[in-house]
Amino acid sequence: MKSCYLFCGLLLCLLLRASAVSVAAEQLNSQAREGSKQAAHKNRPPLQSTSLYFLPLTSIRPKGWLERQLRIQADGLSGHLDEVWSDVGPNSAWLGGTGEAWERGPYFLDGLVPLAYLLDDAKLKAKAEKWVNWTLTHQGADGSIGPVVNQDWWPRMVMLKVLIQYQEATDDPRVIPLMLRYFAFQARELPKRPLQDWGKYRWQDEVVSIFWLYNRTGDPSLLSLAQLLHEQGYNWKGQFDDFEYTKKTDRTILNGSGAALPDRAMQTHGVNNAMALKMSPVWSLFSGSAEDRKAIYQQVKMLDQYHGIPNGMFSADEHIAGTDPSQGIELCAVVESMYSYEQIEAALGDPVFADRLEKVAFNALPGTFRDDMWSHQYDQQPNQIACTRGVRHWSTNGPDANLYGLSPEFGCCTANMHQGWPKLVSSLWMGTADDGLAAVAYAPNEVEAEVHGRVRVHIVEETEYPFRGNVRLTMNPATPVSFPLKLRIPAWATGATVAVAGSPVNGVQSGTYLVISREWNKGDRVEITFPMQPRVSRWENNSVAIERGPLVFSLKLGETWNKLEGDALAPDWEVRPTTPWNYGLELDPARPAAAIKVVEAPIGQYPFSGDGPPVELIMKARRVPEWQEVEGSAGPLPESPVKSRSPDEQITLVPYGAAKLRITAFPEIVQDSSSAMQH
Ligand SMILES: [Zn+2]
């Protein structure tokens, strides 16, 4: 049955694209309707209705550079991790073996399942299905799932995320009954064995899966279970209502009793905080509380104000670490923030969160991988002048934390990093409350979904965004159909224009969703232009970073990569600089675009690579001699503006993700009149 749906989907797609006989398309259309695979699920009362909702996995397929990026990922560690890392090898307890029995198997699957189905890669699907099948065929008589040797609730929360994606991709009829039995088991057990440790701080991620199942079954006991998790789980909203963690943490945060991290360490833990972004928005779907809907704004404000760094993230290495751009952020926190912003956007429909999703996805995510995605860092730094083994001023992490490798510092990121790109693909489009479609984030893709009156629509999105500002949508409805098309206009996109069939659309406003309601016909074209003038943002000590569209730009340092020990396929690397880094920028903040020359080039085999990046910014700079290295990192930024007697130089900035050694936050140079006379 599964293969039938896949076959029908493929055939339907081909027919639609080939401007086929509409009768044939209509017949297939009605067949596809019978499968639940493509049917999106809105919130079922009493859950609050939302303006946006997720489309089922595989409704959106990556194209262009994004498809290439997923293929790089599949050809890199994500497609081969089980072959080189025993923690997710054949002896995993999540495959019935005697090996790792906690979070690493489910983490790996949370990215491997969507990667495999989005690429429709038979080999990867076979790998993923082996794991999912073990869980589906080894449920305990009491309803429990997972390895019996480890009863922690937390890794099961991750496995539930895996199962809902797998169900959407395959329609496997075993998933929903298994989840119902598991949640009934947990509802009986939780009063006796309440949430603790990681599960207590990450409970909201299970609520996402509970609501997913409730929307498909209407079983009211699921909402009671969600309430129980809410009662036992940590109240992140309370933490940010009165935020006490306004300073960089240090190793004293780990002081406490017992084997687990003390509460204060859990509350300042970077990955916990990234996951917790979604807590209040997700919970608001049940509570209906305006306070819960508003809480995320305060949460993001506090993290930005006290720990914000220029790549879209807050610092945490591995506990929150202040605004110095030489502090790090862990890869798990990057991919978990992306997943949170995707959930927040669906729950609240405010485009500001999709802006942030893109900033993290197009900067912090690629900036912490080697081009071929065979190595990654644990902690990345916006100002990262050397990735070497040694003491750095992290809050609590150790000497390996910013190496590129298989599992520098700790293996959580090695297991968890795979979800980043695939879940971005799945969030590019969402359904709307009024049965239309919304372009939530931009990248090349095609989407196929049902709109008004369950008419199937196929839209091809051609773009080189985020490197360019032009997006072209070609609409292919099965029959002419009226529905609202919502287009996110990013907050930075002042002066954006939209045209339908060559006619400009009025009312385009940055920081909103533009709604175009009309009858759509086959071949209708929507042309979107986002102006991409460079602009300046301000960071620690009044330093400046240069942004253009959703991309942040960095000075790329000359890099020497030295192989350290490790697996031959996935070695660890040190990276040392070969060029100076301590530059300040000369610019007119009121008119930054005037002093910056934009140079575009074709997108290369590796979209985020320092080897021929798709866009470069050329501008004037001067060395700042007093800005020096401290313990392997760029030392504290001098307060801007800064005077420099160094000569003018021309420097080239590249996308953050293309610079594996980089400076992103720079001192701002003011002209020194005495030096001007000397020169
Ligand atoms: Zn991690």
Tell me the pLDDT tens digit for each residue of 164-218: 999 999 999 999 999 999 999 999 999 999 999 999 999 999 999 999 999 999 9
| Residues forming a β-bridge with 316 | 320, 329
Residue 376 CA, ligand 1 centroid: distance in Å = 11
pLDDT at 593: 80
From ligand 1's centre to the CA of 408, what distance in Å?
A: 10
Rounded alpha-carbon distances, angstroms, from residue 523 to 10, 478, 610: 20, 11, 38
Measured in Å, residue 405 CA sits from the centre of ligand 1 at 13
Cis, bond preceding 461 (omega within 30 deg of 0): no
Look at residues 335, 35, 36, 291 and name the one whose alpha carbon lies nearest to residue 161.
Answer: 335
Could you tell me the distance, in angstroms and rounded to a whole number, from the CA of residue 437 to the centre of ligand 1? 34
How many angstroms is it from 406 CA to the middle of ligand 1? 12
Closest CA to 600 of 576, 617, 581, 575: 617
How long is the chain?
679
Distance of CA 176 to the CA centre of its chain: 27
Measured in Å, residue 104 CA sits from the centre of ligand 1 at: 10
Going by pLDDT thresholds of 50, 70 and 90, the confidence category of residue 19 is: very low
Question: What does the pLDDT average to over 621-645?
Answer: 97
Q: pLDDT at position 565, please?
A: 78
Residue 662 identity: R
106 C-alpha to ligand 1 centroid (Å): 14
Q: How big is the chain by its Cα radius of gyration, in Å?
A: 25
Task: Give the Å distance between the CA of 336 and the centre of ligand 1.
Answer: 10
Residue 386 confidence (pLDDT) above 60: yes
For residue 490, what are its two tokens?
Answer: 């990013």
Residue 27: pLDDT over 60: no
Share of the chain above pLDDT 90, in %: 89
Query: How far apart are the CA of 331 and the centre of ligand 1, in A?
Result: 6
Contact 486, 499 (CB under 8 A): no
Distance, CA of 375 to CA of 382 (rounded, Å): 18
Q: What separation in Å is there between the alpha carbon of 402 and the centre of ligand 1?
A: 12
Residue that the structure tokens 């751009």 belong to? 325
Helices 331-348 & 290-307 angle (0-180, nearest 10):
150
Of 657, 4, 591, 568, the residue nearest 371 (C-alpha) = 657
**CA-to-CA dists, residue 604 to 7, 69, 75, 672, angstroms:** 33, 11, 17, 41
Per-residue pLDDT band for 570 (boundaries 50, 70, 90) equals: confident
CA of 615 to the centre of ligand 1 (A): 30
Measured in Å, residue 121 CA sits from the centre of ligand 1 at 26
Do 88 and 141 contact (CB within 8 A), yes or no?
no
- Residue pLDDT, tens place only, 128-146: 999 999 999 999 999 999 9
Question: How close is the Cα of 417 to the center of ligand 1, in Å?
Answer: 8
Written as six digits, the tokens of 233 are 């789980």
- The rounded Å distance from CA 608 to ligand 1 centre is 22
Distance 103 CA to ligand 1 centre (A): 11
pTM of the prediction? Answer: 0.94
Parallel, antiparallel, or unpaired for β 649-655 and 551-556? antiparallel
Q: Which of 646, 582, 592, 641 is nearest to 617 (CA)?
A: 592
CA of 369 to the centre of ligand 1 (A): 13
Report the separation in Å between the CA atom of 333 and the middle of ligand 1, taken as the mean of its atom positions: 7
Tell me, in angstroms, the distance from the centre of ligand 1 to residue 138's CA: 28
For ligand 1, a single-atom ion, which residues have Cβ within 5 Å? 330, 332, 412-413
- Whole-angstrom distance, CA of residue 382 vs CA of residue 263: 29
Produce one character per residue of 342-355: b if its CB has 16 or more CB atoms within 10 Å, e if not.
bbbbbbbbbbbbbb
Q: Can you tell me the distance from the alpha carbon of 466 to that of 354, in angstroms, rounded to the nearest whole number?
A: 13
pLDDT at 36: 41
Which long-range contacts link 241-245 to residues 24+ away (Cβ below 8 Å)?
241/295, 241/298, 243/302, 243/306, 245/306, 245/320
pLDDT of residue 453: 74
Q: Residue 9 pLDDT more than 50?
A: no
Centre of ligand 1 to C-alpha 433, Å, is 36
* Per-residue 3-state assignment (H helix, E strand, C coil) for 38-100: CCCCCCCCCCCCCCEEECCCCCEEECHHHHHHHHHHHHCHHHHHHHHCHHHCCCCHHHCCCCC
pLDDT tens digit sequence for 315-328 = 999 999 999 999 99
Distance from the alpha carbon of residue 79 to the mean position of ligand 1, in angstroms: 19
pLDDT attached to residue 588? 83
